[in-house]
């Protein structure tokens, strides 16, 4: 028979080495979530979560079970970007810390109609959101990873009747101030490429997209600069990172470009 009254709380015992730890917690924790969906109110996803807090120099360990208990309290309700701030404050209180960190990553599905045949099909996007609470300041960010088509301007300029084109992946992380839908971020990225990527295409759609990309050639540098300009114009988006990898079709390497705006991503590594 287990006697709870006689059990020791080893985590609360003094640390052998007195040093504050900037982040302790759990990683790669799987849980179902109901995230906010612009068209359908909610969308069920399976998220991979990372949670962490800072630990006082005199405390030996954190109570890791409290992270899971907190996640259980939240996972059945509609999880929005606003919920992240509440989640972090509850985490700080339960873990008796001053800083708190949470990150959720998941596959998000969005319906897209093919451009001419208007055939609807779901496209999956790797997305996520997270937040950092330091004392009383909360920073919340969203993350999106979106496929686009890139067509090489140099190849088009120096070839007769063609140009090499390929799929590229564009990633963003953006600190937000206010509500920003995942769908908004996905659409911003899709508009930065030579053309979009779809799940279902008929012959007329393929012809349309091939011609669209040919008339809109872009280097990875062009894609990142165009996306950066759009992100800067968005009133709710503050600091951000944008990058593009083009999986080249005729080169034995991939092309890459990236940019960042603001200092939050450097500061994030401090906590």
Min mean pLDDT across 12-16, 110-114, 167-171, 242-246 is at 12-16
Superfamily of domain 12-268: Urate Oxidase; (3.10.270.10)
Q: What is the pLDDT of residue 57?
A: 72
Residues of 155-192 as b/e, b for ≥16 C-beta within 10 angstroms? ebeeeeeebebbebbbbbbbbbeeebebbbbbbbbbeb
Q: Can you spell out the DSSP letters for 113-130?
A: E-TTT--EEEEEEEEEEE
- The string of pLDDT tens digits covering residues 184-204 is 999 999 999 999 999 999 999
| DSSP conformation class of 135 | T
Cα 195 to chain centroid distance, Å, stands at: 22
- The string of pLDDT tens digits covering residues 133-146 is 998 899 999 999 99
Q: Give 75-89 as a 3 state SS string.
A: CCCEECHHHHHHHHH
Q: Which of 84, 79, 99, 81 is nearest to 25 (CA)?
A: 99
- Residue 9 binned pLDDT confidence (cut-offs 50, 70, 90): low
Sequence spans of domains, the chain? 12-268
């Amino acid at each position: 028979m287990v006697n709870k009254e006689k059990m020791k709380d080893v985590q609360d015992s003094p640390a052998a080495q007195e040093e504050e730890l900037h982040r302790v917690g759990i990683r790669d924790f799987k849980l179902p979530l109901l995230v906010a969906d612009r068209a359908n109110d909610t969308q069920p996803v399976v998220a991979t979560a990372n949670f962490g807090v800072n630990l006082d120099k005199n405390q030996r360990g954190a109570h890791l079970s409290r992270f899971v208990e907190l996640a259980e309290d939240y996972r059945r309700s509609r999880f929005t970007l606003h919920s992240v701030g509440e989640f972090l404050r509850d985490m700080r209180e339960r873990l008796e810390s001053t800083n708190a960190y949470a990150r959720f990553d998941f596959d998000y599905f969005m319906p897209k109609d093919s451009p001419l045949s208007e055939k609807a099909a779901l496209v999956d996007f790797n997305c996520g959101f997270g937040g950092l609470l330091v004392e009383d300041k909360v920073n919340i960010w969203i993350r999106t990873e979106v496929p686009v088509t890139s067509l090489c301007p140099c190849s088009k300029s120096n070839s007769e009747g063609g140009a090499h084109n390929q799929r590229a992946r564009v990633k963003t992380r953006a600190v937000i101030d206010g509500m920003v839908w995942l769908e908004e971020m996905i659409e911003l990225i899709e508009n930065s490429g030579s053309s979009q990527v779809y799940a279902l295409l008929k012959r007329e759609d393929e012809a349309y997209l091939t011609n669209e990309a040919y008339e809109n050639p872009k280097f990875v540098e062009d894609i990142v600069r165009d996306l950066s300009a759009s992100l800067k114009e968005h009133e709710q988006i503050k600091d951000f990172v944008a990058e593009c990898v083009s999986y080249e079709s005729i080169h034995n390497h991939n092309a890459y470009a990236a940019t960042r705006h603001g200092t939050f991503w450097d500061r994030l590594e401090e906590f």
